[in-house]
Amino acid sequence: MVKTNKFRMFVIVVLGFIFVFMTTIGILFWQQLSPEEKNLFIGFIRQHAAFILFIIFFILAGYCFFLNWVFRLYVLPVNKVAEEIAIIYSSNPSHRLDVEGSPDIKRLVDAINQGADQYEGQQKKVQATIKKAIAEADAEIKTLAAVMAELPEGIIVCNSQGQILLYNNRANYLLTGSRTKDGDRASEPPDSNPVVAQQEISINGKGRFMGLGRSVFSIIDKKLIVHALEEISEKLNRKDSDVASYFVIALDSNKLIRSETIPILDNAQQFTGFAMIMWEITEQMAFNRQIGSLLQSLTTGIRASLASIQAAIETILSYPQMTPKQLDQFQQIIHNEVIAIGNTLDRTSAEHSCHIHTQWPLVDMMAHHLMRTISKKALDNLGVTITIREIDKESWIRVDSYSMIVAMLFMIERLHKKTGRNRFGFTIERKEMVVYLDLDWEGEPIPLETLHSWEKENLVFGNDCLPLTLEEVKKHHEWELWSFARKQNSHQACLRLLLPAVQVTAGSETIRHLTILPDSRPEFYEFNLFDQPGQKTELDNRLLTELSFTVFDTETTGLDPRGGDEIISIGGVRIINNRILRKENFNQLIDPRRSLPSDAIKIHGIQPEMLKGKPFIETVLPLFHRFCKGTILVAHNAAFDMRMLQMKEAATDTKFINPVLDTLLLSAFLHPAHKSHDIENIAVRLGVNLFGRHTALGDAMMTAEMFLKMIPLLAQQNIHTLKEAREASKTSYYARLKY
């Protein structure tokens, strides 16, 4: 061990110094002797050589025994006392010293244990005060959690980087299809039952994970959120009263989610995060399509009846001399058609009296704000310049800004390719209750047949893609699309959109106001743990208390990855903000497609029948890879677990590049005077309850608690950052072992 080696080096140096000193004295003494004395001395040594060597050996042996006695009774106990004092004051106040040594050391240990009793008593008083304060805060948190759980809307709150700070179960269900077992929770107070939902893995799904500290971009298309935040930024700059942004999320399961995004500002009015409020609109959209089809059928029927009525009236007016009998026939036709129209309207009204307006969000906004955004994106993405010539700043339209922008850019891209033009003009004009959006260019107009073919295409522009056609967006916004040449300039073509104008009144109830935060409130295998590809400077220099961790463990069929042993269980739990999120865990049994040795079953207790029907590693490992994304991996004897994962990288097309920390190495660094560094002994030393031993999730939970206990101990050794922890691990004796 490090301190033992230092002491032994000191002993060697002292012996060397004594040897040099005695040799020097001997040389000086020899030089003072006369030749006769030298001969006499040499003869004496030869005559009594065995006795003299025995005396020297006896002195050296006594010296060594003395040093060993001093080492065992004074030096080694002092080192162990220092280590165990650190445990008491940093991780486990209930720990007491049990150190063998000299009577003086034992008196010191007794005095320290008495002080530890007083310290623990004071700690309990402090903890009682803290728990009381936490209980009061917890009551408020539970009130918030209960309110959020009852909301029909999904709620997600994120920081400015898109990390999830808070969410309710409805949001989790809408976006991942998972539900909590205990109901919705909004937050997780320290030392209480965990908050947010336990992840139930959907093996047939896309492996989306909702969780505190995770990126919302792993669940929702980043382009949608970036668009929303850009729109919010523009509204904040314009000081609009409604600063929310609205868009529709189309999931792989053909589910449509309406989202309303609201900015959160700090007390200095600086953007610090955003909240998303969500509703599912899949059924409403399907219902609306049925309504559209019905209305089209209704319109066709009414028009046919009206045509018959019109023809009858025109005939009556054209032939005033017709006989009463003929006149009666035409009147009967008119009467029958009027009754038919009334019946059709009554039937439609009765069948759909519960219909409400579409839930696909259309938001009131000024037309020129929309067109300026389109102009900027066209220049940035297509190199197309759009000059806005005439603007009616009082023109308000009702649109879904994201689908409208993608639709307009889709048409501009098609125009650019069709005409070869890089410059277009834009005019905005309102005439009564219609807003004209004219896009013009020098050249020939686009044929109507071409426009109709565009309407059948899915909206794709660059990386933006909507599961809608241009025609569907057109119908939803109730616009009309024309292509013509201007009368005043036959060489100037125009593409015109006619949208219904909106009369905006003050005091709209749909306006979302800002949320402003108050001022106050945060056995080793050949696997190199110390050179992971994901280790980057920005991570290395961050404090351990600021990082996100995934603490994991595997259960296997044996201890030989190269010999064909397989993973049969993976368990993991996340640590965020120095807190274990117990219900944000990963726990999955795996079919190894081989038999289980009886020796392995005795250790982990997993029976072969428990693995029948479970997914294979090719399905589970990619899900676990997503679960760990963006975190530091932590395990006990991590090189073995990482080697097991590495052996499956090619088969599962996954690669774990996350930085890795090992609690075995950290324990050996922190407590070099202790011989045992297995999970049981570390847990007892640090005051961690033994539970769920030899299950993947149970061992992961215990390792997580041990790791949190080690962080303050590392801080006492001036180990604060990820890089410092990794470098400290390298100094451990275990880090140099290969098996």
- Which positions are annotated as active-site residues? 694
In this structure, are residues 413 and 461 in contact, taking their beta carbons and an 8 Å threshold?
yes
End-to-end CA distance of the chain: give it in Å, rounded: 20
Q: Alpha helices, DSSP H only, in 209-323?
A: 222-238, 282-318
Show Cβ contacts of residue 512 under 8 Å, excluding neighbours closer than 6 positions: 242, 243, 244, 260, 262
Give which of 57, 283, 261 is closest to 157, Cα–Cα.
261
A 10 A CB-CB count for 193 gives 11
| CA angle, residues 561, 725, 573, in degrees to nearest 5 | 55
Distance CA 242, CA 236 (A): 9
CB atoms within 10 A of CB 306: 13
CB–CB of 423/441 below 8 Å? Answer: yes
* Token digits of residue 209: 């994970």
Q: Name which of 687, 656, 654, 683 is nearest 667 in CA terms.
A: 683
- Of all residues in the chain, what percent are helix, strand and coil, respectively (each to 5)? 50, 20, 30
Q: How far, in Å, CA of 476 to CA of 503, rounded?
A: 19
For residue 261, list its beta bridge partners.
Answer: 245, 276
List the structure tokens of 638. Answer: 């991590």
Beta bridge mates, 256: 250
With beta carbons less than 8 A apart as the criterion, state whether 345 and 299 touch: no
Supply 500's token pair.
């219904």
CB 702 within 8 A of CB 681: no
CA atoms of 278 and 250, how far apart (whole Å): 12
Looking at residue 609, the DSSP 8-state letter turns out to be G
What is the C-alpha radius of gyration for the chain, rounded to an integer number of angstroms? 40
Provide the Cα torsion 657, 659, 664, 666; round to 10°: 170
Torsion of the alpha carbons at 286, 292, 293 and 298, rounded to the nearest 10? 150
Closest CA to 212 of 197, 222, 202, 200: 197
DSSP 308-324: HHHHHHHHHHH-TT--H
Element of type H or E holding 218: none
Q: Measured on CA atoms in the order 529, 531, 532, 538, is the torsion positive or negative?
A: positive
Read off φ and ψ for residue 94, nearest 5 degrees: -85, -10
Question: Number of helices (H) and strands (E), helices first, in the chain?
Answer: 22, 20
How many angstroms separate the CA atoms of 433 and 420, rounded?
34
Cα 242 to Cα 21, 482, 510: the distances in Å are: 89, 32, 8
Tokens of 639: 């090189």
DSSP of 636-675:
TTHHHHHHHHHTTHHHHT------EEEHHHHHHHH-TT-S
Contacts of 585 (CB under 8 A, 6+ apart): 198, 199, 571, 572, 573, 574, 697, 700
